[in-house]
Amino acid sequence: MDVRDSTTVQDDVEKTSSRVLEMLALKGKVTEAGAMIAPCSDYEDEEHVYRAHHPWSVYGVPFADMQKAFDHLRDELPKNGWRIVKDGVDGSVAKSPQIVAESSEGEFAVDVRLHRANKAENAPELIEVTVESACFKEK
């Protein structure tokens, strides 16, 4: 397991998120939250083992454009060094389309979901993205 500086890992995850947004090629509103550091659940018994994760969403564009961007991402990820490990639906009641991919070096994973509007929950149409780093030990 790599020993890394958490600030550097956060920066790398945010840069990776930016590349995923570029691959989506969707001009919508993007949530502003930055990458966060949290304990790595894969190593619950060890101290000082962390993972950076960066959840964000794209919204405010027609659903058809989101579908097109989601499909475009499916094509672009492998061209940009990612291996798709899941391409189907998530486990939600809505069965939202989901793509999970890992970077070729295994440094990052991305989970992308396409959500339809849900009026009962007052939830808008959006593409939800979470980029995570591999687990690392803090310097």
pLDDT at 120: 64
pLDDT at 5: 86
Tens-digit pLDDT profile for residues 41-60: 877 677 789 999 999 999 99
pLDDT at 94: 84
**Please, what are the domains in the chain?**
3-138 (3.30.2030.30)
pLDDT at 47: 78
pLDDT at 124: 83
**Integer Cα distance of 60 and 5 in angstroms:** 35
pLDDT at 114: 97
**Reduced 3-state DSSP string for the chain:** CCEECHHHHHHHHHHHHHHHHHHHCCCCEECCCCCEEEECHHHCCCCCEEEEEEEEEEECCCHHHHHHHHHHHHHHHHHCCEEEEEEEECCCCCCCEEEEEEECCCCEEEEEEEECCEHHHCECCEEEEEEEECCEEEC
pLDDT at 8: 92
What does each of the 139 residues of the chain score in pLDDT, given as a tens digit? Answer: 678 888 999 999 999 999 999 999 999 999 987 899 998 887 767 778 999 999 999 999 999 999 999 999 999 999 999 999 999 999 988 899 999 999 988 899 999 999 998 776 667 899 999 999 999 988 7
pLDDT at 29: 93
pLDDT at 139: 76
